[in-house]
Structure 1
Amino acid sequence: MFSLLSSTRRFLIGTKSFQSIRTMASYNPKSIVFNHTCLRVKDPKVSVDYYTKNFGLKLIATKQFPELKFDLYFLSFNDAETGSPFDREGVLELTHNYGTENDPDYKINNGNVEPYRGFGHICFSVDNIQKSEENLLANGVKFQKKLSDGRQKNIAFALDPDNYWIELIEHGISKVENKTELSTYKFNHTMIRVKDPVASLKFYREVLGFKLLSTSVHENAKFTLYFLGYNHEDSFEENSLTRNDQASLESVLELTWNWGTEKEEGQIYHNGNVQVEGAEGNTQGYGHIGISVDNAEAWTKELEEKWGDQVTWGLKFNQGKLKNIAFIRDPDNYAIEILPSVGV
């Protein structure tokens, strides 16, 4: 099965290997990008077709690793042919481990079922949410929550072929009545649950350099949402974005804190990468988020020197079988890949 170790891989761009990239003296902090979110899928043909047909994502790269028995599929609404798949925001990485498509008993852990909750959903923002939902239903897409369900009438949750939740929100850009245009869709955010927001916000803001975009407190339901992203403008004021401002963005990270979890003992959420010993069936699903930077070696070296044993590394830079990437872990043991913008 795919694991964090097998996620430490060497990308190839065309026929050129970047395994021996020249080490630069430093990195540019403004080059740091929340590049991708990785999800394991059972059948890549089914999943790629689902995302391209229903939402308009483009398959921008495929990386095959037959020696490791897995392939990677990279999809994005931004299908610019120039540059690398890793120098942009809003990429969805689908990981296929060979043979799962032929296993009738194999099911993905979507992160929303006890006792293996952790990852929550990805989110696409659309121009016209009513028409988008209508079209998806006509295409046979299943829903966890339709617009008409529950108290919140301005969001919906579609289900992908592996039962991952896809939140739909509206950005309203170029909205036309009774019409939706797939080219306006955006990969808005990725949501994970966190135990202690103080520890998580410190890690993502101080260690990785995210900015707090906004906070949403839900007192009746006893949970708070923290939305983070990269904004390299010196004038940016944290915790200042409106819902509409945020809906127009890509590569936002949503941290969900259910009040009181910070008082519980030990790790309470599943990171999506651990195959739990003795569990019935597969417990893996969500893989990681990926952050790209112009010089991953320089940045990871700086992080090691600055934070020491205050942070945990799943894999330090260049210390695995496959080079030029690193994996750092957040306080809830979720994996964050750090990779060069040009690929590795």
Structure 2
Amino acid sequence: MNSVKTVVRPLQRSNNIHFLRKMATESIAYPTLIKAASQNSSLRLNHSCVRIKNPETSLKFYTSNFGMTLVGHKKFPDMKFDLYFLSFPKTPFPQNEKGEDDVFGVSGVLELTHNYGTEDDPDFKVNNGNEEPFRGFGHICFSLPDVEKTCAELEANGVAFKKRLSDGRQKNIAFALDPDGYWIELLSYNRSPEVKPIDEGYKFNHTMVRIKDPAKSLGFYQNVLGMKLLDKNEHANAKFTLYFLGYDTSDKPRWAKEGILELTHNWGTENEADFHYHTGNDKPQGYGHICLSLDDPAALCHEIESVYGESISWGVKFNHGKMKNLAFIKDPDGYSIEIVPCGLIA
């Protein structure tokens, strides 16, 4: 998307279901449903990963300004990086077999990856995904009960903004900036004046990436990974379309959920042979991946390999890398998707 995106209303249920069925069954690129995904109630979009320069600065930013809690810290000194897992408070938080918070057992987790030494390198800067020629990843989004109150508090605390509520035409969304320049969309899940406002705390609502070809991407995420199309919004004047996918098909409004993937398509990119987005994993690095967790990732990965073979790329096949019990699959744009078991102990 070329500009800060528009927040839009969900489709009427009948249109949404019609479009979902059409895309899931008529996809040319990925026509076969993977049963281990489409028939799996344990699947969730667990976390989104971004690289950071200074963990002390980033952890303070997310815990102090948004009330996130550090639910996991995994150290890999031999590979010279640490992982920090943050979540908004959840009660109860599932436990793994060690009695620790199972960071892979819920949706709405933010993973911050720190490569040792970046905090002391004055020239190091992450790629936030929104600057040419390295656009790809767009933003993460937090939904909350009162966006005006939250934005006022953030501004009083010195948080920088890409877009304030008062900027532009869309007065109900804002974009804050984290210490590395990543965009954080802020919106309220209390959106109807006819409904009494609720306070369910903050939610890690979605992660946005830009895509080249929606037919390929929607086929991949629906037929291969079992996601459902929750919302589609077309903006003809600006020539882009937004697709929201996830595993939570409850009647709860899309903006009141966690674990959603937003795909942004700028019209015409699918017809440009040499066009591609930056995935965040080539230099300059920034965005890392989204992660799916489920009860039996081995069965899912093996079925994908059996059905699609060489037509789907893998960063690491299941259980083949240095870190066991996980895989990294690549979507049509080359973005990485980690696949892990619930309860994984690294």
- The residue type equivalent to 2:330 in the other structure is R
Match of 2:216, SS state, is: helix
Counterpart for residue 149 of structure 1: 167
The Cα shift of 1:37 comes to: 0.1
Counterpart for residue 29 of structure 1: 40
Partners of 2:94 and 2:226 lie apart in 1 by: 27
For the pair 1:89 / 2:89, whether they are aligned, the reply is no
Partners of 2:289 and 2:306 lie apart in 1 by: 24
| TM score, norm. by length of structure 2 | 0.83
Counterpart for residue 116 of structure 2: 98
Counterpart for residue 230 of structure 2: 213
The Cα shift of 1:265 comes to: 1.4
The Cα shift of 1:132 comes to: 0.6
The Cα shift of 1:335 comes to: 0.2
Counterpart for residue 64 of structure 2: 53
Match of 1:118 among 110, 113, 136: 136
Partners of 2:64 and 2:261 lie apart in 1 by: 25
1:244-292 residue CA offsets vs partner (Å, 9 max, x unmatched) = 81110001100000011111113510000012xxxxxxx1000000000
Bigger mean CA deviation after superposition, 206-215 or 183-192: 183-192
Counterpart for residue 318 of structure 1: 319
Show structure 1 runs of 5+ residues with no match.
1-25, 276-282
- The residue type equivalent to 1:258 in the other structure is N
Counterpart for residue 306 of structure 2: 305
Asked if the contact 2:57–2:179 (Cα under 8 Å) also holds between the matched residues in 1, the reply is yes
Partners of 1:326 and 1:78 lie apart in 2 by: 28
Partners of 2:75 and 2:272 lie apart in 1 by: 41
Asked if the contact 1:131–1:180 (Cα under 8 Å) also holds between the matched residues in 2, the reply is no
The Cα shift of 1:140 comes to: 0.3
The Cα shift of 1:78 comes to: 3.5
RMSD, aligned CA: 2.1
Partners of 1:288 and 1:318 lie apart in 2 by: 18
Check 1:52–1:174 CA distance in 2 against 1; reply closer, same or farther (3 A cut).
farther
Counterpart for residue 226 of structure 1: 243
Match of 2:221, SS state, is: helix
Partners of 1:297 and 1:158 lie apart in 2 by: 38
Asked if the contact 2:228–2:246 (Cα under 8 Å) also holds between the matched residues in 1, the reply is yes
Partners of 1:59 and 1:322 lie apart in 2 by: 22
Counterpart for residue 338 of structure 1: 339
Counterpart for residue 266 of structure 2: 258
Asked if the contact 2:94–2:105 (Cα under 8 Å) also holds between the matched residues in 1, the reply is no
- The residue type equivalent to 2:169 in the other structure is R
Counterpart for residue 204 of structure 2: 187
Check 1:70–1:180 CA distance in 2 against 1; reply closer, same or farther (3 A cut).
farther
Counterpart for residue 19 of structure 1: none
Number of residue pairs matched by the alignment: 299
Asked if the contact 1:128–1:180 (Cα under 8 Å) also holds between the matched residues in 2, the reply is no
The Cα shift of 1:73 comes to: 0.2
Counterpart for residue 75 of structure 1: 86
Partners of 1:124 and 1:311 lie apart in 2 by: 31
Counterpart for residue 163 of structure 1: 181
Partners of 1:174 and 1:205 lie apart in 2 by: 30
Partners of 2:192 and 2:342 lie apart in 1 by: 31
Counterpart for residue 132 of structure 1: 150
Asked if the contact 2:269–2:275 (Cα under 8 Å) also holds between the matched residues in 1, the reply is no
Partners of 1:320 and 1:267 lie apart in 2 by: 30
Match of 2:233, SS state, is: strand
